[in-house]
Structure 1
Amino acid sequence: MAFQNLKWETEKVTLENISFALQVHLKDDKRNETTGFVFYKDKKLIDMYEAFFKSEHYPKIERMLEIGMWDGGSAVFWHKLLQPSTLIGVDLMKSRKGTAFESYKKLHQESFHDYWEVDQTDGKKLKEILKTHIGNQELDLVFDDASHRYHQSLASFNIVFPHVKKGGYYIIEDWAWVHWLHEDSSAYPDYTEPTRLIFDLVEAAGNVGLIESIHVCSGFTAVKRGPLDIPKEGFKLHDYIQRRPVSLKSRVKRRIKMLLGKSW
């Protein structure tokens, strides 16, 4: 992996002959004027990825999926950095890609594939896309950088995780956004935070075989698939979670505690 080839500057990062404008330094009134690639990640996050991949001694990635690619800059970045034989990117929005994206796609049309207006919860569409580009093969790596909401992220996991190879990784990015000090977590009162999904995954890891390991850092959570055979159709993470039964007395006590805001 060519992390060592990244050249970071104040307002951009360059990988070989491609430059990515850093969104964090790009003023709102200039974003639509950018004709190149915009990168919605910072050096701190990419350093976390570099440390993670090095610690796992991860082999070459052949097939990968990115769920949520905004205007396509991240898809180009990962394709250029990891050089998979197949990268598939999907996003819910209408295409925002520019001339640089189209030129890159045309140059790498055998290995780079983008799909727009695809809902991350649309199992039928996602499976059709996977079938088209990888057939009966499995994914080495998945990035979920889409809604950052619990129910949508869980749906994507249920759909895609069975298509990840044993030993492959499913990465959930920005799982901790509710807990970031600079974020106003009250701004989205109807959102169920993705933290709940991370808790679900930790519980499921107790079911030996489904999940080999979970790597958690502030920027992302990486779930390594274990050796257990699982169905490609009808898989549900919650079917692999075993919890102790809770007595009626405990449930009532917990409910009263929540209503009164007391700590017992």
Structure 2
Amino acid sequence: MIGFFNPFARLRREAEQARAEKRVARDQYLSLMQDCLTNRHYEDPPLKTFGDRPYDEMVRERGMDWPSTAHTMIGTARMANLRGLVETVIEERIPGDLLEAGVWRGGACIFMRSILKAYEESGRRVWVADSFEGLPPPDTARYPADAGQTFHEYAELAVPLEEVQRNFSRYGLLDDQVAFLKGWFKDTLPDAPIEKLAILRVDGDLYESTSDTLSNLYGKLSIGGFVIIDDYGVVDACRKATDDFRAANGIVDPLQAIDGVGVYWRKSGGIDYPAATPDHENRPAVIERPASLWGGFYWENDERLLIRDVAFLVTCDMDKLMGTSSTEDHFVLGKARSMVEDSIALSRRRKIGKIFEIGIFKGGSMILNDLVFAPSRIAAVDFNPAPVEAMTRYIEKTGKSDVIRPYYGIDQSDRQAMEKVLSGEFPDRDIDMIVDDASHLYEQTRAAFNISFPYLRPGGLYIIEDWGWAHWSGDFWQKDNPYFGARPAMSNLLIELFMLAASRPDLIESVEVVCSVITVKKGQGKMPEGDFDLGEHYLMRGKPFTAPL
């Protein structure tokens, strides 16, 4: 009956269901492609060049063996990183093709082509650049850093062009969106008919090969595009060529570790760096510790996260949260590990440039978001009037006083005080993400939503943490809690958000609930005039809403 009287709602539900099913199918396809290309299903052993060893899951994950039959040797961690970066340039519409220089059996290029297919991207090409004859002998006269390298002696690295093309065909991916550049990089790359690149993946091992690739192609990489250096952490010549090129061209975009072997960086600013003649001075390696799947973020254990030179205590244990102080290089973060990993995953999918946080506590969330998202502005408010000294020192140390903007002594339900901060920090009402991790009380959180939501850009995310406390098990939550007492549950707000999404999809495109986190995605519609109150915009057949929980 609902579908009869409201056919548009039915069509909208059907369209949303179709989109959801498409996302699931796409993820299943790409996950299967990754497992097939790394041969995790059949667990082929390494080539006998390195002895008679069995398949090792952990070694394969980090790409530390040369598989006997798999179509890539870069491992599952670097494959996952590649997928994330390609998906980022697609979702953010970074212009340009995708190129790998040094392809072996073609697995990484095949994976990139499969991602384009999954996202129905017909306007980009995958460039497959290789000699298809192995690596050249070191030219030590011109590139002394390559002295002693013996990659050219391994026949296993010489995979003919025809074999790579057959590998593409096996997956049904050899078409006109794949282009091959056969020859030494110094001969093929200078005049390659490539206009723009969004992904530049360098896997040439040698100083010469790495330098030739960067010198000839970096200028064609779009702003916002990614450079991936495959063997930076394990081949000194490759690392040196990368460091020399970055230094010679004034590139300061931070290197992000992937798995202890590969690294990547994102090209920023408005300058296309010209080709340069690298020098041969030694420079220290950037990688000082192994990294997890999410490049640059290393978990020592479930409660200790390292990001560059900053450590985080990640815990929901109240005794640890209240009994531990933050310092300028060690911050207390009241979250579960899964919540942090969700943030890291989000940073791979979306560009989050402006952030507003409600609740500062001991500063951990602001500093985490600064390191994860690298925003141009992150402002936050907290009820406590006392500044977090550790965060003050961090801001001074990093020189980020124009980026990280904490405000203290502000009640999240105080419209006048909140509006003053929001209008001052975000006058264009273009916040990408708002995170409420403050009082966790229904009335105050609802008031903060009414005040802050209009400052979120269309498509932006409004995240409310720990909404489910009234439904958690244990005497602390279900009996006489000293803080929450008999206050209305936060789930009342969740009900209202669902009703607003149903009534006004132009205001709320979606509401997602994952455990104790609500994520609201703002719709594309125009905000109502005047002070916003969500209760004035959802429909209940004329009945009033009173918080029932």
- TM-score normalised to structure 2 length: 0.41
Cα contact 2:431–2:456 (8 A) shared by 1: yes
Q: 2:331 aligns with which of 33, 37, 56?
A: 37
Is the partner of 2:402 in helix, strand or coil? coil
- 1:105-144 matches, within 5 Å, as 105-106=395-396, 107-144=399-436
Q: CA deviation at 1:73?
A: 1.4
Question: What do residues 183-240 of structure 1 show as CA deviations (whole Å, max 9, x unaligned)?
Answer: 5233133321111101100011112311111111113111011122113631110111
Hey, what's the Cα distance between the residues in 1 that align with 2:473 and 2:393? Answer: 39
SS at match of 2:418: helix
Q: Distance in 1 between matches of 2:322 and 2:466?
A: 25
Name the stretch that deviates more: 117-126 or 22-31. Answer: 22-31
Q: Secondary structure of 1:206's partner?
A: helix
Take 1:50 and 1:80, find their aligned partners in 2: how far apart are those partners? 10
Given the superposition, is the C-alpha separation of residues 63 and 29 from structure 1 closer, same or farther in structure 2, using an over 3 Å criterion?
Answer: closer
Cα drift, residue 134 of structure 1: 2.2
TM-score, length-scaled by structure 1: 0.83
CA distance in 1, matches of 2:385, 2:307: 27
Contact residue 149 and residue 192 of structure 1 kept, 8 A: yes
AA aligned opposite 2:386:
S
Matched residue, 2:367: 76
Mapped to 1, the partners of 2:429 and 2:501 lie a distance apart of 24
- 5+ residue gaps, structure 1, are 247-254, 256-264
Matched-pair contact (CA < 8 Å) for 1:105–1:113: no
Kindly indicate whether residue 337 of structure 2 is the aligned counterpart of residue 46 of structure 1. Answer: no
Matched, 1:211 2:503: no
CA gap 1:232/1:51 in 2 versus in 1, 3 angstroms: farther
Report the Cα offset of residue 177 of structure 1.
1.8
Q: Which has the higher strand share?
A: 1
- Whether the 8 Å contact between 1:45 and 1:219 is mirrored in structure 2 is no
Match of 1:91 in 2: 382
Query: Could you list the per-position Cα deviations for residues 160-195 of structure 1 after superposition, in whole angstroms to 9, with x for gaps in the alignment?
Result: 101101110111111112222245233133321111
Residues 104-161 of structure 1: CA deviation (Å, up to 9, x unaligned): 2122111110011110011111111122222224211100101111111110010010
Given the superposition, is the C-alpha separation of residues 30 and 158 from structure 1 closer, same or farther in structure 2, using an over 3 Å criterion?
A: closer
Matches of 2:490 and 2:323 in 1, distance apart?
Answer: 31
Aligned-pair CA distance for 1:33: 8.1
Q: 1:148 & 1:61 partners in 2: Cα distance?
A: 24
Q: Deviation at 1:16?
A: 1.2
8 Å CA contact retained: 2:321, 2:334 = no
Aligned-partner Cα distance in 2 for 1:16–1:33: 17
- Please show how residues 1-264 of structure 1 align to structure 2 within 5 Å: 3-10=294-301, 11-24=303-316, 27=320, 30-32=323-325, 36-50=330-344, 57-58=349-350, 60-95=351-386, 97-98=388-389, 100-106=390-396, 107-182=399-474, 183-186=476-479, 187=481, 188-207=484-503, 208-231=505-528, 233-245=530-542
- Identity over aligned pairs, percent: 28
Distance 1:233 1:104, change over 3 A: farther
Kindly state the Cα deviation for residue 48 of structure 1 after the two structures are TM-superposed.
3.6
Q: Which moved more, 1:139-148 or 1:123-132?
A: 123-132
- More off after superposition, 167-176 vs 126-135: 126-135
- Give, in whole Å, the separation in 1 of the partners of 2:321 and 2:338: 22
What amino acid sits opposite 1:42 in the alignment?
A
Do the aligned partners of residues 120 and 179 (structure 1) sit closer, same or farther apart at CA in structure 2, a change above 3 Å counting? same
Give distance in 2, aligned partners of 1:49 and 1:66: 14
Deviations along 1:232-264, whole A, 9 cap, x unmatched? 631110111101256xxxxxxxx9xxxxxxxxx
Cα separation, 2, equivalents of 1:239 and 1:245: 11
Query: Secondary structure at 1:120's aligned position in 2?
Result: coil
Measure the CA separation in 2 of the matches of 1:202 and 1:24: 28
Q: Which amino acid aligns with 2:433?
A: L
Residues 325 and 332 in structure 2, CA contact (< 8 A), matched pair in contact too: no
Indicate the structure whose relative CO is greater, using CA pairs within 8 Å and at least 6 residues apart. 1
Structure 1 pair 29/166, CA: closer, same or farther in 2 (3 Å)?
closer
Query: What are the Cα deviations for residues 22-76 of structure 1, in whole angstroms up to 9, with x where unaligned?
Result: 344664785248673111112122234445666xx32x11111000111211111
| CA root-mean-square deviation | 2.5
| Residue type at the aligned position of 2:506 | G
**Aligned mates of 1:50, 1:79 — CA distance in 2:** 11
